[in-house]
């Protein structure tokens, strides 16, 4: 599968693991930043892995709830 994807893209020699495209969004206002952060935090909830964003061990949502996370996050 990775080889087939790599053959379709001239930027690769053999294999492709990640998608090559992206759609950058300017984070121009706090409202936009909050919206994108909520989207990231709720991905594991929507996928059915956890019931609340702060329950996902690898999420910065834990820091917003005052719980320890895997990485140090500065909220300010």
Residue 16 lies in a domain: no
User: pTM for the complete prediction?
Assistant: 0.65
Please count the structural domains in the chain: 1
As given in the structure block, the two tokens for residue 68 are 């320890």
Residue 1 lies in a domain: no
pLDDT digits (tens, 9 = 90+) for 32-50: 999 999 999 999 999 999 9
Question: pLDDT tier at 23 (50, 70, 90 boundaries)?
Answer: confident
Burial letters 34-48, b for 16+ CB under 10 A, else e? eeeeeeebbebbeee
| pLDDT value at 21 more than 90 | no
Question: pLDDT tier at 26 (50, 70, 90 boundaries)?
Answer: confident
User: What's the pLDDT score for residue 74?
Assistant: 81
Residue 49 lies in a domain: yes
Q: Which domain holds residue 71?
A: 26-76
Residue 12 lies in a domain: no
CA distance 33 to 25: 10
Residue 4 lies in a domain: no
């Amino acid at each position: 599968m990775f080889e087939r994807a790599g053959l379709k893209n001239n930027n690769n020699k053999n294999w492709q693991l990640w998608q090559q495209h992206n759609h950058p969004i300017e984070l121009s206002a706090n409202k936009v930043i909050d919206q994108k952060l909520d989207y990231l935090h709720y991905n594991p909830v929507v996928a059915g892995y956890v019931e609340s964003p702060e329950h996902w061990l690898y999420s910065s949502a834990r820091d917003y709830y005052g719980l320890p996370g895997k990485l140090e996050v500065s909220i300010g």
